[in-house]
């Protein structure tokens, strides 16, 4: 029993409950949208109750970059941190979702107008959220410019999240400039976040990777929990023309 003088959660209203959770995770199937050249997941039943076995045991074989996942700096840098070298606070904490639905490249001037808080998970919702619902990859997705990545890095985000497979243009001959900016700063990047039905605003986020030893990426179950009233969310809507 808790004495009346003790206030749970510092006396503040709890910031989430089960009904407030928004799942940003794409269903992981053998037909999931994939980055060109990557292999698809393979599910096998090693034993199956339906076939008369005493229990069901599934086997999953997959590329770590299939569907909703998080990339560690080691994905882009030979000496970058792997997922198990990043602190757990990189995968949980306060988050903001901003919306840039009408642009092809998010540039630094788009972000300057947004008054982005420091030390939050920073998620960018774009027109890619529609592309993410399709069966086949589109090379004409919205991207993030390297100067916008530099500006975000200065705000020390816990992570950055995007609604397609890459921040950088497809087949960019110069490599992955925006991703490399975050990798150099030790910041993980979530990709293929399904933000289609997520209102802009402030949230609590959880997206823990598997504890894969030495891995540069892992599938995640990415979830936002609503933290503030809807009226405050409108301050985060920035439609670029
Ligand atoms: Zn990846």
Find out whether 200 and 72 touch, Cβ atoms under 8 Å: no
Residues 56 and 167 in one domain: no
Which CATH number fits the domain that encloses residue 191? 3.50.30.50
**107 is a domain residue:** yes
Please give the distance, rounded to the nearest whole angstrom, from the Cα atom of residue 233 to the centre of ligand 1.
29
Q: What are phi and psi of 46, to 5 degrees?
A: -75, -40
Residues 71 and 44 in one domain: no
Of the residues 11, 44, 62, which one is the last residue of a structural domain? 62
Residues 165 and 79 in one domain: yes
Residue 192: DSSP 8-state: S
pLDDT, tens only, 15-52: 445 558 999 999 999 999 999 999 999 999 999 999 99
Residues 160 and 177 in one domain: yes
Residues 144 and 168 in one domain: yes
What's the domain range around 44? 29-62
Residues 72 and 186 in one domain: yes
Please give the distance, rounded to the nearest whole angstrom, from the Cα atom of residue 71 to the centre of ligand 1.
5
Give CA–CA dist 67/70, Å, rounded. 10
Residues 231 and 162 in one domain: yes
By 3-state DSSP, what share of the chain in percent is helix, strand and coil, each rounded to 5? 20, 25, 55
Please give the distance, rounded to the nearest whole angstrom, from the Cα atom of residue 166 to the centre of ligand 1.
8
Please give the distance, rounded to the nearest whole angstrom, from the Cα atom of residue 65 to the centre of ligand 1.
4
pLDDT, tens only, 176-191: 999 999 999 999 999 9
Residues 50 and 69 in one domain: no
**3 is a domain residue:** no
Q: Is the pTM of this model over 0.75?
A: yes
**5 is a domain residue:** no
Q: Computed from CA positions of residues 152, 195, 27, 23, in that sequence, does the dihedral angle turn out positive or negative?
A: positive
Please give the distance, rounded to the nearest whole angstrom, from the Cα atom of residue 231 to the centre of ligand 1.
34
**pLDDT at 167 > cutoff 60:** yes
């Amino acid at each position: 029993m808790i004495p009346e003088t003790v206030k749970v959660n510092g006396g503040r209203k709890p910031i989430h409950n089960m009904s407030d959770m928004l799942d940003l995770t794409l269903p992981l199937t053998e037909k999931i949208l994939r980055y060109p050249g990557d292999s698809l997941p393979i599910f096998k039943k090693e034993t199956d109750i339906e076939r008369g076995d005493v229990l069901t045991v599934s086997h999953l074989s997959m590329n770590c970059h299939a569907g909703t996942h998080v990339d560690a700096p080691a994905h882009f840098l030979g000496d970058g941190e792997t997922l198990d070298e990043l602190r757990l606070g990189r995968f949980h904490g306060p988050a903001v979702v901003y919306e840039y639905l009408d642009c092809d490249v998010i540039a630094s001037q788009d972000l300057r107008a947004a008054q982005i808080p420091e030390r939050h998970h920073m998620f960018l919702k774009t027109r890619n959220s529609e592309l993410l619902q399709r069966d086949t990859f589109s090379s004409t997705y919205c991207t993030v410019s390297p100067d916008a990545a530099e500006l975000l890095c200065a705000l020390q985000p816990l992570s950055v999240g995007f609604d397609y497979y890459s921040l950088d243009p497809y087949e960019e001959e110069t490599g992955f400039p925006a991703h490399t900016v975050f990798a150099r700063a030790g910041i993980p990047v979530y990709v293929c976040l399904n933000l289609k039905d997520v209102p802009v605003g402030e949230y609590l986020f959880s997206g823990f990777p598997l504890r894969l030893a030495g891995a540069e990426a892992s599938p995640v179950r990415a979830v936002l929990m609503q933290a503030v009233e809807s009226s405050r969310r409108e301050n985060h809507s920035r439609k670029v023309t």
